[in-house]
Amino acid sequence: MPAFARFRIAALQELFRQLAYAPSEATRRHMDAAEKLLADIDPQHNYPEDFVVYRITGYRPEASQEPAVLVGSALVADLVNLVQRFSMMIELRAEDVARSPLTLEEVGRRLLVAPKTVQRYRRRGLVCHYLFTDSGARQLICFEDALDRFIQRHRAGVERAGRFTRVGPEDRQRMIDDALRMRQKENLTLNEAARRLAKTCGRARETVRLILRRHDRRAEKPIFASKGPLSARDLRVIDRAWCFGVPAAELARRFRCSRATIQRVISRARRRFLASLDLSYVELPTLELEDAASIILSNPIVCRDLDNLLPDDDALELIEALRGAPAHDENAEDALLAGYNFLKRRAMMAIADLPDWPGSRALDEIETDLRWAALLKRRLVDLALPAAVARINQNLHARLIDEPAERIIALLKIGIEVCSKVVEGIDPSRGQHLIALTSLATDRKLAGMETRAAGRAAARHAPGSIPLHGPFEKLTSWQGRLSLRRDRRRQIDQLDDRLRQAITLRFGLTGSPPLTFPQLAWQLDITPTAAARVVERGRAELRRFARQR
């Protein structure tokens, strides 16, 4: 599924949602009506919402209140988006229309512009459709009559863009010489010099800036001050700061380099961390099935209610919850073990295939698998912990809750540690069971430990008097880096709705598996790049909230 642009107008997004389930014939009519409407929209004018709805659907809603007014420029972009989405839904084919399709490359050659310029034209009203072949492949195309209408409407801009020429050597040298004089005379920054030169040269500011930066990278004496290559300490600081939620743009300003450089540094650090993990998994027969992913990961036990966890803030509350835990479910145990080992196996194989300079998408998929695996391990530890605490009570010849606070915390940590180790090595295909292995491992761990002295009075603890500090935070070696920190999770309710939704979905805090950026983009109806930026803003806000405490 392609990543569609996000609707700018909420009314158009809601209209699309309402029409998404219409029959194909109706969707085809809506698509054609939206394209016809687009030809009548002036970006400089505003239009009432009921007029737009009527032109697309043929239905005029009853006016219960003053209709909303839609901005023309935003409406143009949203109508183009609407047409593309409708063409995708009905799987439009060439034989369904009596129009001549052009690929976007052919459009660029006809207009004498670069592919990026064609993409900008789409936001300005160049209507495109998704066209499907018999094999099911899809291609974004522009019908020739739609292109002719766009040219007629934007002739001056199209002709100006078609006359664009590359910067020649003489013009480039003139820019460099002028920049040097500006720097010596006024000590201007790179961006300010580029802004001034852009006006005098008739070029885009970014074009001038890139020319000057390219010159400085190659010159023995650069015009503008440069920090130079990042040191090993810089690389460590960047990686640590990013893990704490510092945005890439802020790091770029701090280290006086481009955002792209920061992203490369972060990607390399992410790769090194993943390669350092000692991932191991239990070879289960189900892992070798051809469709193992769909069988194992679609099990409701593996992909639902992952937030249904034991309390982890208060020891007394945790012990009370263990006493009331439901009977052990062996089906849940088997499903969780299969999912946990499958995700680790898939991550390990993907890490082995990573290049030295990996792409962000491959890293994202691996890290998402490991986040999911961490959630499944937590569920497995929760299943095993009642057995561990029962054996602790048996060895104490008393109730754990009657012990001193320090001893309660220490023994709970021992029980969690034992459960974690058992989960890593249990093999159901060999007849091993979680409860039996946990009980045995707990007895061995407690063998020889001092039991409560005879005659010691039972301790009495007020509710909430024995706080726990993240006893489940180190069940895996990757939780500390890949999962959302405990102090950050406590601040989530302070985020606005959009940031909170992005963060909770991204890190799997709603009971569902964590999402990659493409999956998150589909949920939020934005592009993957935009989804990454939203999550980055959310993490930065959580960091700010935590620092204010």
Shared domain for 419 and 329, answered yes or no, is: yes
- Burial of residue 280 (CB within 10 Å: 0-12, 13-18, 19+) is exposed
Shared domain for 41 and 186, answered yes or no, is: no
CA dihedral 294, 296, 299, 303 (to 10 degrees): -90
CA distance 180 to 204: 19
> Which residues have a Cβ under 8 Å from the Cβ of 140 and sit 6 or more positions away?
2, 84, 104, 128, 129, 130, 131
Q: Pick the closest to residue 430 from 291, 329, 283 (CA basis).
A: 283
512 occurs within a structural domain: no
534 occurs within a structural domain: no
Shared domain for 242 and 313, answered yes or no, is: no
Instruction: Indicate which CATH number applies to the domain containing 256.
Output: 1.10.10
518 occurs within a structural domain: no
Q: Pick the closest to residue 459 from 502, 405, 517, 519 (CA basis).
A: 405
In angstroms, the Cα distances linking 533 to 54, 91, 248, 388 are 36, 31, 10, 43
Shared domain for 326 and 432, answered yes or no, is: yes
Shared domain for 204 and 291, answered yes or no, is: no
**pLDDT (tens digit, 9 = 90+) per residue, 161-200?**
766 666 778 888 888 888 888 888 887 777 788 888 888 8
Tell me which residue has tokens 């040269």.
Answer: 201
> Which residues have a Cβ under 8 Å from the Cβ of 475 and sit 6 or more positions away?
374, 377, 378, 381, 416, 420
Q: Pick the closest to residue 369 from 349, 387, 395, 389 (CA basis).
A: 349
What is residue 456's predicted lDDT score, i.e. its pLDDT? 62
**pLDDT (tens digit, 9 = 90+) per residue, 35-90?**
999 999 998 899 998 899 999 998 876 665 667 888 888 999 999 999 999 999 98
Shared domain for 37 and 119, answered yes or no, is: yes
CA dihedral 309, 315, 319, 324 (to 10 degrees): -40
Could you give the angle at which helices 232-243 and 259-276 cross, rounded to 10 degrees?
A: 80
What is residue 452's predicted lDDT score, i.e. its pLDDT? 54
Tell me which residue has tokens 């810089």.
Answer: 234
> Which residues have a Cβ under 8 Å from the Cβ of 40 and sit 6 or more positions away?
55
In angstroms, the Cα distances linking 448 to 388, 395, 396, 435 are 17, 10, 12, 22
Shared domain for 256 and 361, answered yes or no, is: no
What is residue 451's predicted lDDT score, i.e. its pLDDT? 56
Contact 161/113 with Cβ under 8 angstroms? yes
Domain edge (last residue) among 483, 516, 543: 483
CA distance 189 to 503: 37
Could you state, in chain order, the average pLDDT of each consecutive group of 10 residues for the chain (549 residues)? Answer: 78 88 90 93 90 89 71 91 92 88 90 84 91 85 93 86 71 87 80 84 80 81 72 90 90 80 92 93 88 90 92 91 88 94 94 90 95 96 95 90 90 95 93 94 85 61 86 92 90 92 94 94 91 93 83
Shared domain for 131 and 25, answered yes or no, is: yes
Q: What phi and psi, each to the nearest 5 degrees, are found at residue 404?
A: -60, 155
SS3 assignment, position 527? coil
Shared domain for 466 and 351, answered yes or no, is: yes
What is residue 166's predicted lDDT score, i.e. its pLDDT? 67
> Which residues have a Cβ under 8 Å from the Cβ of 547 and sit 6 or more positions away?
none
In angstroms, the Cα distances linking 107 to 104, 126, 127, 147, 156 are 5, 10, 12, 8, 17
| Domain hosting residue 236, numbered range | 232-276
Shared domain for 323 and 403, answered yes or no, is: yes
257 occurs within a structural domain: yes
496 occurs within a structural domain: no
Contact 435/328 with Cβ under 8 angstroms? yes
> Which residues have a Cβ under 8 Å from the Cβ of 339 and sit 6 or more positions away?
296, 297, 299, 301, 302, 372, 373, 376
Domain edge (last residue) among 454, 483, 512: 483
In angstroms, the Cα distances linking 489 to 168, 256, 414, 493, 542 are 54, 31, 25, 9, 8
CA distance 538 to 500: 7
What is residue 494's predicted lDDT score, i.e. its pLDDT? 92
Shared domain for 173 and 157, answered yes or no, is: no
Shared domain for 292 and 424, answered yes or no, is: yes
CA distance 453 to 97: 88
What is residue 444's predicted lDDT score, i.e. its pLDDT? 92
544 occurs within a structural domain: no
Could you give the angle at which helices 72-89 and 24-40 cross, rounded to 10 degrees?
A: 150
What is residue 63's predicted lDDT score, i.e. its pLDDT? 60
501 occurs within a structural domain: no
Contact 182/135 with Cβ under 8 angstroms? no
382 occurs within a structural domain: yes
What is residue 221's predicted lDDT score, i.e. its pLDDT? 80
| Number of domains making up the chain | 4
Q: Pick the closest to residue 52 from 27, 26, 28, 78 (CA basis).
A: 78
Domain edge (last residue) among 483, 510, 526: 483
